Amino acid sequence: MILFPDLPSNCLTMLTEVSKNMCFGGWQKVFSHESSELSCSMRFAVYLPPQSESGPRPALFYLSGLTCTEQNFITKAGAQQYAAKHGLIVVAPDTSPRGIGVPGEDDSYDLGTGAGFYVDATREPWAKNYRMHSYITKELMKLVQENFPVKPGAIGITGHSMGGHGALICALRNPGLYRSVSAFSPICNPSACPWGQKAFTAYFGESASADWEAHDATKLAAGYAGPELELLIDQGEADEFLEKGQLLPERLVNACSGNARLKTRLRMQKDYDHSYFFIASFIGDHIEHHAKALLA
């Protein structure tokens, strides 16, 4: 028996269903749509827990890291069983526009395709399409709220690596939009690490600009004045990118320590690396963290 039937066709006029699979009593689905923010076709995944058949449920957005699509998280993290347990809708978008023909977009793994960094680029040739921040916080947010049974005001955000950076800046730049936040091995201070410096130079221009600071969680934390937030951050001690100075979690913790509105729980996990084996090991804790805040 189908526990969560297809939504009415008139409810999904803006979306095209790409796939659906029954999973832990709910539905793991993937949709495509034409994005006005990014000027291209985009995909995103939605897990609808069995409880969503009975009424609105909280929603958790997950932002993936470099090179990923919506598929990495839904096939590797094992989040569905915990989302079903707590009754959370989980939304997992792609990481960038694709196939739009920007010169250089496919030249390297850490810039362009698969590497949108969840920012709104201001520099050409990226400015027209690379608007992932507005896509996540405005366009996709509206699509999800209009087409799925999301409980108003009960939305959280999490992510991994570049997506952890995205989750942090989405929450800190948009006070009150997300009630809960967490991250796995996030890029915490992109203005000061090779990944971030490369991306920000391409998307915004030279360093020390206001755009750099506006997309850097460590810089944003000091001036955050929104509702109180508890940031749960898990970081593997054996993470090669931690050793290479790409992540810099201690800088974010130090920045948050001077702001009474931000409480940070940084958990250093012995022997864990940067992979989805790490994410799968602690995704249950993160979903519980969000459920506690979103179901209160």
Structure tokens at 156: 């959280």
Q: Is 275 a catalytic residue?
A: no
- Which is catalytic among the residues 165, 274, 289, 290? 274
DSSP-assigned letters across all residues of 18-36: EEEEEETTEEEEEEEEEET
Asked if residue 68 lies in contact with residue 111, where contact means CB atoms within 8 angstroms, the answer is: no
For tokens 């934390």, the residue is 221
Distances 120 to 23, 38, 115, 133, 166 between C-alpha atoms, Å? 34, 10, 12, 6, 11
Task: Quickly count helices (H) and strands (E) in the chain.
Answer: 11, 9
- Catalytic residue, chosen from 35, 52, 96, 161, is 161
Max Cα separation, the chain?
58
Distance in angstroms (rounded) separating the CA atoms of residues 29 and 94: 14
Question: Residue 180: which of 63, 60, 290, 292 has the closest Cα?
Answer: 290
Listed in sequence order, the DSSP H helices in the chain are 70-76, 80-86, 132-134, 141-147, 162-173, 194-204, 210-214, 217-223, 240-243, 249-257, 276-294
- Tell me the residue ranges of DSSP E strands in 36-78: 40-48, 57-63
Given 239, 286, 289, 290, the catalytic residue? 239
Question: Is 33 an annotated catalytic residue?
Answer: no
Q: Looking at residue 90, what DSSP letter applies?
A: E
Active site residue 180: no
**Which of 166, 187, 147, 131 minimizes the C-alpha distance to 61?**
166
Distance CA 72, CA 93 (A): 10
Active site (catalytic) residues: 161, 239, 274
